Amino acid sequence: MENQIILATKQLTKKYGDVRAVEQINLNVKKGRIYGLLGRNGAGKTTIMKMVLGLISISEGEIEIFGERLKGNEKSIYTRIGSIIETPSFYSYLTGTENLEIFSRLRGTIKKNAVKSALEVVGLPYKDKKPFVSYSLGMKQRLGIANAILNDPEILILDEPTNGLDPVGIVEIRKFLQTLCHEQGKTIIISSHILSEIALLADDIGIIHDGHLLKEFSMNELEEKNKRFIEIKVNSVTKATQLLENMMKCKNYTVTDKNCIEIYDENLNTEEIADCLVSHGIGLSSLVFKHETLEDYFTSLTGGAKFE
Amino acid sequence: MIYLLIFLCFIIILLLHHNLSNKKKIQEIVKILDDIYSGNLDRRLVADENSEISSLVYKINEIVIKDKHKLSEFNKAEKAYKKLVTSLSHDIRTPLSTLIGYLEVLEKDTMSYEEQQKFIQIAKEKALNLSAYIQSLFEWLKLESGEWTYDFKEENICELTRLALADWIIKFEGNNINFNFDIPEKALFILIDKNAFDRIINNLLANMIKHSHANKLVVQVTEEISEVQIAISDNGVGIDEAELPFIFDRLYKCDTSRTENSNGLGLAIAKELTIAHNGTINVISGYGKGTTFKLRFPKNMKKA
């Protein structure tokens, strides 16, 4: 069952004067999947999301959502999208419930007691007395999420939703988003700079770097395509490489550390390698099958700088 | 006078506007309903909580959500069914191929008379196991499809328990199991299907003998105010707490390393049959702590 494209940007560009903040972005988000927008801080993820949500103007390009052009259909389309951009902002001296009730009166609701249900889902109290200004960061994020899911939207656009959450909170959000997507069939676009979280959560990935969309792929594709290699740790790299070349006719390898070799030749049998090395007196302390992770792939695409 | 006229015009304009805006709203709703009709069960109608059409809109949303839920349950069931069919065919193919393997060996190899006899014994055992499995399978399928016809009669549950246990005494002695039955002399009459009850007790005892490696068994029948309780306890290896919620699921096998063809249907069938009596079945156990199965049958089961 092929998922159709529910949100697409065509040549989306944002210019601030002469500065091209975001350039020719062609995103393709599939229905019912989690799309992770990956990139370093300042790469342009939030700018893209803001343009999609109509919070900043589009310099060039088009956006298509639910199969329609966004321009001219904003009202009907935005009712079907829930979002959190940057830190959720609410009225400081109103309680969470009061805040949500204002928004629900502005937007309309889909059921009776929508505010109560939404607060229940995120685990915040209903009609309590605590004003938003006294909320912890975790509670603020939760209120933002409650606001985003208030009208059971078909698409959720979340900008760094785990920002400022503790490890437990991050796991909770992850499970919550997985439920929303896999059990309720919502489409979720989430931006993050925490690679490990995205790797666990996203079905599809778009890598943004310096305002450009470098690549779009599914996690499945990545796993299949990922370079698989055998990593061996030996006591003598020089002897081992010699053996590899002469005895095993293997030229496809790299020495990555003073004791560590990565062998890319998949056809080599690990038993043979171990046997060969050990029988020639080389100390083999470890032999492992490994593959590139999302982090490795990201680093190689964006040019090696250490990711935070 | 003229003020009255202006006032009336004003009211008329307001009413017309209201009418038009309602028409527009209805058109929008119809458009959204078209989308829902074409299969998008994720679409929701939005309305101002105070407007006149809000309850109508909310109701429509409720219906759509219910539909969506039903659809996803159906899809889940379909998936589970496919999985079941696959695992069943595996559960039958595996012992069958082992059986054929043994027979092929018997056919070809030259071996001593004693060895031959041994292999024939093993092959026969495997065949009998397979036959018992298929028997359970059909019972379970019958239960699931609602084709099992019950014959509820007023029976003395104490006497039935004694009779069911009597058949097992030889097996207990053969397996060195010390047994202790605590069944009241008093007759406790409840509506029971004799065959079903027999099945329940048999399945629980078979399960115990096969898995618990116990050497002590206690069966206790007690009368409570509104129900009769039957507790079957052993001092065997017990069941891990983490697995307790799942043991009554069909096909669940705790010891995944076993090579024997033990089917998970016995407990599932016992549970179904107990529920048919409006009764309940529970298990209390822990790794290394023995196991107790508790059956509860209500004294006054309302005839279906």
Assigned domain for A69 exists: no
Domain count, chain A: 1
* Three-state secondary-structure class, residue A267: coil
Q: How far is A76 from chain B (nearest CA, A)?
A: 9
Q: Is A116 on the interface with B (CB under 8 A)?
A: no
Tokens standing for residue A44: 């342009």
Average pLDDT over residues A72-87: 91
The verdict on residue A252 lying in a domain is yes
Q: What is the pLDDT of residues B243-302, one digit of tens each?
A: 888 788 765 555 443 434 455 678 888 898 998 888 999 998 888 888 899 999 988 765
What distance in Å separates the CA atoms of residue A288 and residue A211, rounded to the nearest whole number? 38
Q: Which residue from B81, B28, B78 is spatially nearest to B57, judged by alpha carbons?
A: B28
Q: Measure the CA–CA gap between B100 and A190, rounded to whole angstroms.
A: 56
CB A206 within 8 A of CB A33: no
Identify the CATH number of the domain in which residue A264 sits. 3.30.70
What is the residue range of A234's domain?
227-291
Q: Note the pLDDT of residue A269.
A: 78
Q: Which residue among B43, B48, B58 places its CB closest to the CB of A154? A: B43
Query: Looking at residue B302, what is its pLDDT?
Result: 58
User: Residues 144 to 163 of A: which have CB under 8 A from any B CB?
Assistant: 151-154
Separation CA A146–CA B299 (nearest Å)? 49
Nearest to A109 among B49, B62, B68 (CB): B49
> How high is the pLDDT of residue B263?
53
Candidate from B28, B45, B68 with C-beta closest to A110: B45
Helices and strands per DSSP (H, E), number in chain A = 11, 15
Q: Does some domain include residue A196? A: no
Per-residue pLDDT tens digits for B55-78: 999 999 999 999 999 998 888 888
For A72-91, the DSSP string reads T-HHHHHTTEEEE-SS----
Is A112 in CB contact (< 8 Å) with chain B? yes
Percent of chain A with pLDDT over 90: 47
Protein fold of B153-298: Heat Shock Protein 90 (3.30.565)
Q: Is residue A187 within 8 Å of A155, Cβ to Cβ?
A: yes
Q: Which residue has the tokens 């084709």?
A: B147
Nearest to A226 by CA among A169, A157, A298, A280: A298
Type and span of the H or E element at A275:
helix A270-279
Dihedral sign, CA of B9, B11, B17, B19?
A: negative
pTM to 2 decimal places: 0.67
In tens, the pLDDT along A193-245 reads: 888 888 889 999 999 999 999 989 998 888 777 767 888 898 888 888 888 88
| Contact list, B48 vs chain A (CB under 8 Å) | 105, 108-109
Contact A231, A260 (CB under 8 A): yes
Answer whether residue A169 is part of any domain: no
Give the span between the Cα atoms of A91 and B144, in whole angstroms: 56
Dist CA B40 CA B36 (whole Å): 5
Dist. CA A37–CA A46, nearest whole Å: 9
For the residues B23-36, what does the mean pLDDT come to? 91
- pLDDT given for residue A190 in this prediction: 95
- The beta strands (E) that lie in chain A are given as 5-16, 19-25, 28-30, 34-38, 60-65, 68-69, 81-84, 155-159, 187-192, 204-209, 212-218, 228-234, 253-257, 260-263, 284-291
pLDDT tens track for A278-301: 888 888 888 888 777 788 788 878
In a domain, A63, yes or no: no
Q: For the segment B76-88, what is each residue's pLDDT rounded down to a tens digit?
A: 888 878 887 887 7
| Chain A positions in Cβ-Cβ contact with residue B28 (cut-off 8 Å) | 76
Surface-to-core class of residue A167, CB atoms within 10 Å of its CB (0-12 exposed, 13-18 middle, 19+ buried): exposed
Q: What residues of chain B lie within 8 A of the CB of A108, using their CB? A: 46-49
Give B10's pLDDT tier (boundaries 50, 70, 90).
very high
- For the question of an ipTM over 0.90, the answer is no
What's the pLDDT tens digit per position in B93-111? 888 888 888 888 888 877 8
* Contact residues, chain A, for B42 at CB < 8 Å: 152, 154, 184-186
Residue A1 pLDDT exceeds 70: no
Cβ-proximal residues to A304 (8 Å cutoff; 6+ apart), any chain: none
> How is residue B71 written in tokens?
């659809």
Pure H helices in A87-129:
96-107, 114-122
H/E element, B50: none
Strands B280-285 and B291-298 turn out to be: antiparallel
Q: Which of A80, A109, A184 sits opposite B47 (nearest CB)?
A: A109
Domain boundaries, chain B: 2-71, 153-298
Chain A residues lying within 8 Å of B54, measured CB to CB:
109
Average pLDDT of chain B to the nearest whole number: 85
Of residues B264 and B236, more confidence is placed in B236
Give CA A278 to chain center in angstroms.
Answer: 43
Q: Does A75 touch chain B (CB under 8 A)?
A: no
pLDDT at B43 over 80: yes
What is the CB neighbour count within 10 angstroms for residue B289? Answer: 15
For B137-189, what is each residue's pLDDT tens digit?
888 788 877 788 888 888 898 898 998 888 888 888 888 888 889 988 888 88
Report d(CA A34, CA A29) in Å as an integer.
8
Q: To the nearest whole angstrom, how far is the Cα of B64 from the nearest Cα of chain A?
A: 12
